Amino acid sequence: MKGLTFNKVILIIFLVFLGVYFASKNSYYDSLSKKKALTEEQIMKFEDDVANNIPLDIDEYLPKDIDNSNFVSRGAYQFSQLLSNLLNDKCKDVWKLIKTLFIS
């Protein structure tokens, strides 16, 4: 029985590793960091537009969103959201139990 449980834990850890590995190989994390920063070209274009008194629109300077998600990354995201919600609900239930036992 213990061996079966240990094998399941190892399998889950391996699957999480694969999800993170493929997410990093698909440049998912790089695309997130690029959303936050303007490139040098966009900064130069912005400065030229300001110098020439051209009306400014922020959408012209931000990089276009590229969806790099795939089946694995979408599945991992949905699984993490489900797990987060489940754990959050259970923690609230445990906290209510602790409050009932010790506070009242």
Per-residue pLDDT of 8-47, as tens digits, reads 888 888 888 877 777 666 665 565 565 556 577 777 888 8
Give the separation between CA 19 and CA 28, rounded to whole angstroms: 11
Q: Which domain holds residue 44?
A: 37-67
Instruction: Give the N- to C-terminal CA distance of the chain in Å, as an integer.
Output: 40
User: 104 in a domain, yes or no?
Assistant: no
| Residue 65 φ/ψ, nearest 5 degrees | -75, 130
Closest CA to 68 of 18, 34, 17: 34
Domains: count for the chain: 1
User: 43 in a domain, yes or no?
Assistant: yes
User: 54 in a domain, yes or no?
Assistant: yes
User: 57 in a domain, yes or no?
Assistant: yes
User: 88 in a domain, yes or no?
Assistant: no
Q: Which residues contact 63 (CB under 8 A, 6 or more apart)?
A: 34, 35, 38, 39, 42
pTM comes to 0.36
User: 56 in a domain, yes or no?
Assistant: yes
User: 49 in a domain, yes or no?
Assistant: yes
Write down the pLDDT at residue 37: 61
User: 62 in a domain, yes or no?
Assistant: yes
